[in-house]
Amino acid sequence: MRPEVKEFEERMQKSVAVVGEEFAAVRAGRANPAVLDKITVDYYGTPTPVPQIGSVSVPEPRMLMIQPWDASILKAVEKAILASDLGITPSNDGKCIRLAFPQLTEERRRDLIKQVKKIGEEGKVAVRNIRRDAIDKFKAMKKKSEITEDDLKILEDEIQKITDKSCKDIDIMTEKKEKELLEF
């Protein structure tokens, strides 16, 4: 692989990884600590993600338990979870917060599948934008006579193969997440 292509391949891999992180945050009927990653709590004046202020465990398949290291922020954690789009009411027992994940309704599953498809499509758009940037750069290099017409063609083919692989990876992740949503 040519060094000119390496930078764009890394950017595409990062886009695929971001899609994976987004999918992890989509609630799929079972308890997944990743759903808390985007929820922040005002911790001594600093917005801090919930997993960084205490331990998050999964005592049962449909339950998350959050045990903050500082019990004085239980109320703040509870408030942050209620304000989020998680759709779960936390139960606070004074020492920890429990989140019970209810069964997903058919309507909610459809909404989540639409959301997953949208995230996947946005990821593929990001990958295609990176491909466009790469091809623009290669054409500029050709214009400055840094590369030949043949080199340009080879680079375009390489970047297209990487783009296709990245889009396929996103499609596979999307399909896997959809199956997970339909499972329960």
Domain with CATH 1.10.132.20 in the chain: 3-24+105-183
pLDDT digits 0-9 by tens, 39-65: 888 888 888 888 888 888 888 878 889
* pTM higher than 0.75: no
Numbered ranges of CATH 3.30.1360.40 in the chain:
33-100
In this structure, the strands spanning 46-49 and 40-43 are antiparallel
Half-sphere exposure of 112 (CA within 13 A, CB side): 25
Sign of the CA dihedral with 95 first, then 100, 101, and 105 last: negative
Distance (Å, whole) CA 172 – CA 24: 14
What is the per-residue DSSP string for 65-100? EEEESSGGGHHHHHHHHHHSSS----EE-SS-EEEE
- Give percent of the chain with pLDDT exceeding 90: 33
Along the 184 residues of the chain, how does pLDDT read in single tens digits?
A: 677 789 999 999 999 999 988 887 776 666 778 777 888 888 888 888 888 888 888 888 788 898 888 888 888 888 888 888 777 788 888 888 888 887 778 888 888 889 899 999 999 999 999 999 999 999 999 899 888 899 889 999 999 999 999 999 999 999 998 888 887 5
CATH 3.20.20.100 fits 33-100, yes or no: no
Whether domain 3-24+105-183 has CATH 1.10.132.20: the reply is yes
Query: Tens digits of per-residue pLDDT, 18-46?
Result: 998 888 777 666 677 877 788 888 888 88
Residue written as token pair 């050709």: 142
